[in-house]
Chains A and B, each alone.
Chain A
Amino acid sequence: MSTRPALSGYRKDFPALHQKVHGHPLVYLDNAATSQKPQVVIDALSNFYQCDNANVHRGIHELSHRASVAFEKTRERAARFINAQHTEEIIFTRGTTEAINLVANAWGSDAVKEGDVILLTEMEHHSNIVPWQMLARRTGAKLAFIPVTGDEGLLDLSRIDEFLTSKVRILALTHISNALGTINPVSELCAKARRMGIITLVDAAQSAGHSPLDVREIGCDFLALSGHKMCGPTGIGCLYGRLDLLETMSPWQGGGDMISNVDFHESQWNKVPHKFEAGTPNIADTIALHAAMDYLDEVGRERIAAHDTEIGSYAFEQLKRMGKIRLFGPREERSGLVSFLLHNIHAHDVVTFADQQGVALRGGHHCTQPLMKKLGVSSTSRASFYFYNTTEEVDHLIDVLRGIQKFFGE
């Protein structure tokens, strides 16, 4: 441990962080949208195209062999990254959104019937709401939502047993909220659901690159993640699914690679996981994801989680001290993002002003419109951190926000 550099020492690995924006050094605080990429990931991507580019699982020539081996090695790496029992439990997708859509289609179409309940929470990202709405429309199932307490953004679990009825087929919830910074007790909830025979899906988009992740400890049936939020490239993510469950599921897209035999009128499916990966996959980005996972474990995900809590709490307290601000999300045990509204100043104005000082924030509904409606706001401003962000950057953010308040006469 002691031989590893301090987290801020890793900043140098990220070329995009070293630039000026509107004449000011970039302070990148939009990591919940997508993280920056370390040089090793950029190199893995360009090395693949420069040296090994070929299609996978098809050719017997040297380049195809190299590409296939590297591609399947990433599957093994991803399984280790989340402590899956079997490598076959990893299915490559474009990201979290596609992973959830895969489950809603491949699992949902057979398992969910009219009158069944799909249980979500009020803090879900649109990607963990809309696919279920589409499934509900197709099947006649209903959606139910575990409520959020209010501005402090916790799940209200006081009536959880009333929600976990025998009609519920699946509980799908986020591990860390991208709009509130809440860390949900997913292990506890998955255990409760399992006792009721309810299938569980964890949206790990915000947690996979920020904390150690163990699907067996969480006890979920499915878990979805996106590479681009964890130092990896865009366009690649994973679905984890429990092997016995994946084996009972029908495919969702048809095409090359997902079959073992095709006749004019019928086909047999390939085995898991290939059954769920139709067509030429995103080979280069998958291989670069391997580099991202190695990189994150070199940095240390337990260290990243500790840094998140520290910088998130620090930012929360500093913002609170500014006054004339409404803060969202829990005060304690929070992740590394803060969501806020300055009194009488719209989030979009805040983002435009901050951008002029080189500070990249996000303003809007963060793809959580139902949550925003519940909180009675149309948008918030959000600063989301990663391990390369420093408390000095938080201090700079606070200075900029004070300047905005002054400009607006608040």
Chain B
Amino acid sequence: MFEELNDLYQQVIMDHSRKPHNFGILAGANCCARGKNPLCGDQIQIFLSTEDHVVKDLRWEGDGCAIFKASSSLMTDAIKGKTTAEVKVLFEEFHSLITTGKMSEDHHLGKLAVLSGVNRFPARVKCALLGWRAAMSALEGNPQSVTTE
């Protein structure tokens, strides 16, 4: 019935949304942020522990749709162990992927590429971005709530 959606809701995405990685609260985190999509009520709280501009560990908690949960889960796997500068590059690559579907030759997206289908569903781009926006805001030392609006 839903062939067109197999691409968006791939098995990896379904798995991550059911059993998100790095889910929970991180005691001793030194940067935190909240994010919210006011239109649909998706929300996230993210806790990072960084040392010398490297993301040593992180956890997140939140509630929302499958795309949001899978994207946030994959994001936490992807940025763990990376430097702040590397995370920034990755965010730009990811942003371009889900808004245009395009990847550069030398991209670092790895597993994040499973979300490429989002670009054909403009209404869902926000869902895939919410976790990232919260993480970027935490890394920039900005604990206030970010929104996708």
A residues touching B (Cβ–Cβ < 8 Å)?
22, 345-349, 352-353, 356-357, 363-365, 369, 372, 378-379, 400, 403-404, 407-409
Cβ–Cβ < 8 Å partners of A400 in chain B: 1
- Kindly specify which of B35-43, B71-79, B85-93, B106-114 makes contact with the partner chain: B35-43
Given contacts A346-B68, A379-B41, 17 further A-B contacts (CB under 8 A): A22-B4, A345-B66, A346-B64, A347-B40, A348-B42, A348-B127, A349-B65, A352-B8, A352-B121, A356-B2, A357-B1, A357-B2, A363-B40, A364-B40, A365-B40, A369-B41, A408-B66
A403 touches B41 (CB 8 A): no
User: Would you call the interface of chain B mostly helix, strand, loop, or mixed?
Assistant: mixed
Cβ–Cβ < 8 Å partners of A379 in chain B: 40-41
Question: Which of B1, B9, B123, B127: most chain A Cβ within 10 A?
Answer: B1
Cβ–Cβ < 8 Å partners of A409 in chain B: 14
Of B5, B63, B123, B127, the residue contacting A353 (CB under 8 A) is: B5
- Decide: A403 near B1, CB < 8 A? Known: A346-B66, A349-B67: yes
A378 touches B42 (CB 8 A): yes
**Contact digits for B37-70, partner A, Cβ 8 Å, 1 yes 0 no:** 0011111000000000000000000011111100
B95 within 8 A of A: no
Cβ–Cβ < 8 Å partners of B4 in chain A: 22, 356
B141 to chain A, nearest CB (A): 28
Of all chain A residues, the one with the shortest Cβ separation from B69 is: A346
Of all chain B residues, the one with the shortest Cβ separation from A377 is: B41
B124 within 8 A of A: yes
Of all chain A residues, the one with the shortest Cβ separation from B9 is: A407
* Docked CA distance A357–B43 (Å): 28
B9 touches A348 (CB 8 A): no
Which 9 residue pairs spanning A and B have beta carbons closest together? A378-B41, A346-B65, A348-B65, A403-B1, A379-B41, A349-B66, A349-B65, A364-B40, A356-B4
Cβ–Cβ < 8 Å partners of B67 in chain A: 348-349
Cβ–Cβ < 8 Å partners of B123 in chain A: 352
Name the interface residues of B122-143: CB closer than 8 Å to any CB of A.
Answer: 123-124, 127
* Docked CA distance A379–B1 (Å): 25
* Docked CA distance A347–B65 (Å): 7
Cβ–Cβ < 8 Å partners of B14 in chain A: 408-409
Cβ–Cβ < 8 Å partners of B1 in chain A: 357, 400, 403, 407
* Docked CA distance A409–B9 (Å): 13
Of A352, A365, A372, A408, the residue contacting B124 (CB under 8 A) is: A352
A403 touches B124 (CB 8 A): no
* Docked CA distance A349–B63 (Å): 13
Cβ–Cβ < 8 Å partners of B9 in chain A: 349, 407
Cβ–Cβ < 8 Å partners of A353 in chain B: 2, 5
A356 touches B65 (CB 8 A): no
Cβ–Cβ < 8 Å partners of B65 in chain A: 346-349
* Docked CA distance A348–B8 (Å): 13
Cβ–Cβ < 8 Å partners of A372 in chain B: 41
Of all chain B residues, the one with the shortest Cβ separation from A350 is: B65
Of all chain B residues, the one with the shortest Cβ separation from A364 is: B40
* Docked CA distance A400–B67 (Å): 20
Of B2, B40, B43, the residue contacting A348 (CB under 8 A) is: B40
A403 touches B2 (CB 8 A): yes
List 5 interface pairs A-B (beta carbons < 8 Å), by A numbering. Answer: A348-B40, A348-B42, A348-B127, A352-B121, A403-B1
**Contact digits for B18-45, partner A, Cβ 8 Å, 1 yes 0 no:** 0000000000000000000001111100
